[in-house]
Chains A and B, each alone.
Chain A
Amino acid sequence: MYNYIIKRLILTIPTLFGAAVLVFVLMRLVPGDVCEVRMAGFGTFADPEAIEICRENLGLNDPVLVQFGQVMWGYLTLDLGVSMWTGQPIVDEIGLRFQLSLEIAILATLVAILIAIPLGTISAIKQDTWIDYVVRAFSIAGIAMPSFWLGIMIILGLLITTQALFGTPWMPPIVYVSPFEDPLGNLAQVFWPAVATGYRYSAVATRMTRSTLLEVLREDYVRTARAKGLLEKIIINRHALKNAMLPVVTIFGIEFAFLIGGLVVTEQVFNLNGLGKLFVESVLTLDFTMTQQLVMLVVVIFVFMNFLVDLLYAWLDPRIRYG
């Protein structure tokens, strides 16, 4: 087991290195840089000398390999550097927004679990009845709707219903409130984005729950359980669902990782200052260092979640042993 964990950890190094190279190269391929965006971004005249000084200060004139070496050295010494755009340490910039993104990711995952597992189970038990069709249509609609559009519709719906009920339209607060200071205010803020994304992410998990449960329900041991007269409820809950959960856990694990950095548009719509928004801003301002570290953060979380899911497998299914 320990050997397996160590082997897996070593195997993540090439993936992380590859991702670091990929982002670094992609960013260097972009025409222009942060100095041009800052000084001449809005079509104003910029002194070429000023741009040159800016580049010199940020180290953009160093040979590419030297710049890459600095990034790598930063990872080894756990120093993420400073943002090229704001000049603030990247750790601080990310730290400011990480709490919000993590909170929404956790809430959205909860919403997704609460939707996916019951619906997927019902859909499998009632396969090919109208209940199954309604559940499947509902879950596919979740994938089909752009989450930003769903967000707009939710805001619109909130405005209209609160207007009708209380006479004044209500909108989720825009300025971030910490859950430790004002739990209710915080919930009012993150609840709707979590619903919008959670619904979307439940779709894949609902379908996965349905199809794996269908497969498991055809296994011999389920037939045996039925033959000895076990209650259907016990068969489903204790015998079938437990074994059908493996692929579903994988889905939740991977999606959780993507939720942290992938909420680019939802954050835009709900006007939340999270990591996704920071990512779009840093791409648009060609802030190489910030983009590099944000992408790496998402990749590290993704790789780590994959690793965690693998370990969870062994715990959920005693037949799996990592040697």
Chain B
Amino acid sequence: MTVSDVRIDPDAERAVERTPRPAALLGLIARYPLGAAGAFVVLVMIFAAVFAEAIAPYDPEDNAFEYMFTPPGAQFWLGTDDFGRDILSRIIHGARTALFVGFVAAVIGATGGLVLGVASAYFGGWFDLIIQRVMDVFMAFPLIILALAVVAVLGPGIDKVIIAITIPFIPQCARVVRSSALAIREMPYVDAARACGFSHARIILRHMVPNVMAPYLIMITAFVGQAILLEAVLAFLGLGVQEPTAAWGLMLKSGAEEYAESAPWIPIFPGLAISLAVFGFNLFGDALRDALDPKLRAQ
């Protein structure tokens, strides 16, 4: 038999090179069971947000005073609130508000931090010193106090809430990214790029930024959870999204304290939705960190 007689089945070769998708997925789930659970929660939430109109049994903003304070049952699975609105429908539509605020704030905040952090590490010297001192000032404020102050300046509304949540994220991410970028700046390939005469922008964007993607992605998933929580807190204080929009924090504000005793389903379910969502994003983010940071991997 000569070499030319050996036939290689192209499909077989591919099968050897790559584990089939379902098996690889099962392997990931086995290695990161908590992360998989988190990813599942996140996917369910995204699904609910995208198909809210199709899934939700009722209109979330439709007042039905004849059904006020109906306890959970066959007609309203999670009961109704003080306006007779279906709580389940409001939670499903609330996922959209939460995800929108969460993702937009997290991506803008983390990206702003990424650019500032990498630039700060790359240029060093005076630039670094000034940027870091400014970040110090912002970091010295509790998250909620900074967000409250920004909302007080801008006024309520979903876009202002996003800005208020984004601003405290920038220094947090910049700090983390800078520490990773400092190590990368000393790498020979950055020297090589500089020796080639590439522009600062090119070195930062093409050579440094891709290498700090791991902390950046981890920060984003952590921020989405934090943003959902902060949005709920602002809404609870009456400074966030306004009625009648379906938003989880707002549902707690209108129902939490007065009805905690007489109609406990009004505060319980939106709070559970917030907790579950943030829980999911944090589990997912943790698994992502473990997977991307070899130092923490089990031996």
In the complex, number of A-B residue pairs with CB atoms less than 8 Å apart: 136
A144 engages B282 (CB within 8 Å):
yes
Given contacts A152-B267, A261-B145, 14 further A-B contacts (CB under 8 A): A14-B133, A19-B141, A22-B138, A23-B149, A143-B278, A144-B229, A149-B252, A149-B256, A265-B237, A268-B236, A279-B145, A280-B148, A283-B152, A298-B145
Task: Tell me, in angstroms, the Cα distance from A153 to B133 when the chains sit together.
Answer: 41
Instruction: Tell me if A140 counts as interface (CB < 8 A to partner B).
Output: yes
B153 touches A26 (CB 8 A): yes
**Is the CB of B142 closer than 8 A to any CB of chain A?**
yes
The answer to whether A29 and B133 touch across the interface, beta carbons within 8 angstroms, is no
Interface membership of A302, Cβ < 8 A:
yes
Residues in A whose Cβ lies below 8 Å from that of B236: 146, 148, 265, 268
Within A210-227, the residues touching B (CB, 8 Å) are: 211, 214-215, 218
> Cβ of A262 and Cβ of B153 under 8 Å apart?
no
B271 touches A19 (CB 8 A): no
Q: Is A30 an interface residue, CB under 8 A from the partner?
A: yes
B148: chain A residues within 8 A (beta carbon): 264, 279-280, 283
Of B14-22, B70-78, B182-190, B291-299, which binds chain A?
A: B291-299
Bound CA–CA A198/B56 (angstroms) = 36
Complex Cα distance, B143 from A50, in Å, reads: 37
B140 lies within 8 A of A148 (CB): no
* Segment 193-226 of B: residues with Cβ below 8 Å from A: 225
Number of interface residues of B (CB under 8 A): 48
The stretch among B85-93, B104-112, B257-265 that forms the contact with chain A is B257-265
Residue A141 interfacial (CB < 8 Å): yes
Q: Is B52 an interface residue (CB 8 A)?
A: no
**Nearest CB on B from A240, distance (A):** 16
Query: What residues of chain B lie closer than 8 Å to A31, measured between beta carbons?
Result: 155
Report the nearest B residue to A283, measured CB to CB. B152
Closest chain A residue, CB of each to CB of B148: A283
Instruction: Please determine whether A149 and B34 come into contact, CB atoms closer than 8 angstroms.
Output: no
Q: Contact at B141–A295, with CB atoms within 8 Å?
A: yes
9 closest A-B pairs (Cβ-Cβ)?
A149-B271, A262-B142, A18-B137, A144-B278, A144-B279, A258-B142, A145-B275, A299-B140, A144-B275
Q: List 15 A-B contacts (CB under 8 A).
A: A29-B153, A144-B282, A145-B275, A146-B232, A152-B256, A156-B267, A218-B299, A261-B145, A262-B143, A262-B144, A264-B237, A279-B145, A280-B148, A283-B149, A298-B140
Q: Are B274 and A261 in contact (CB under 8 A)?
A: no
Provide the bound-state CA to CA distance between A27 and B150, in Å.
9
Query: Which of A30, A133, A268 meets B153, CB within 8 Å?
Result: A30
The answer to whether A268 and B271 have CB atoms under 8 Å apart is no
Determine whether B136 belongs to the interface, using a CB cutoff of 8 Å to chain A: yes
